[in-house]
Structure 1
Amino acid sequence: MPKVKTKSSAKKRFKLTGSGKIRRKHAYKSHILTKKETKRKRNLTKMGEVHESDMGRVKDMLRI
């Protein structure tokens, strides 16, 4: 049986922590930044965690 490959898009977007949680980047930080407040842009830079309801889908994409 062949190896099961990880989705390339998922491995670029998600990181696995030591405790097993999955980290993600926030959306809305790529363009049209002039109308967004500095505080909002700063908070979007920080990493977030994948929600529990999406965890199964992300783990399936990462083949965990």
Structure 2
Amino acid sequence: MPKLKTHSGASKRFSKTGTGKIKRGQTKTRHILTSKLPKTKRKLGRILLVSEADEAKVARMIPYA
């Protein structure tokens, strides 16, 4: 079977945990932060897991992560 190509954009945005789940960052953290509450900015700084509905799609894009 041939080697699979990694989606370069996905490899920059997603990574796998030790148990094989896929981590992701959150949106809305780059600019216009002055209008956001400190509580909101704290929550946006956290790392989340990809939802089960999208996990298979993302896993195909990063086969060797």
Query: Normalised by the size of structure 1, how large is the TM-score?
Result: 0.90
Q: Does 1:40 align with 2:47?
A: no
Q: Does 1:21 align with 2:21?
A: yes
2:61 and 2:46 map into 1 onto residues whose CA distance is 23
2:22 and 2:3 map into 1 onto residues whose CA distance is 23
2:23 and 2:4 map into 1 onto residues whose CA distance is 22
Letter of the 1:15 partner, please give it: S
Q: Deviations over 1:14-55 (max 9, x none)?
A: 110011110000111011111100111111011000000000
Q: Does 1:6 align with 2:6?
A: yes
Aligned match of 1:62: 62
Instruction: Give the number of aligned pairs.
Output: 64
Gaps of 5+ in 2: none
After TM superposition, give the deviation of residue 5 of structure 1 in Å: 1.3
1:42 and 1:3 map into 2 onto residues whose CA distance is 40
Query: Normalised by the size of structure 2, how large is the TM-score?
Result: 0.89
Letter of the 1:50 partner, please give it: V
Quote the sequence identity (%): 47
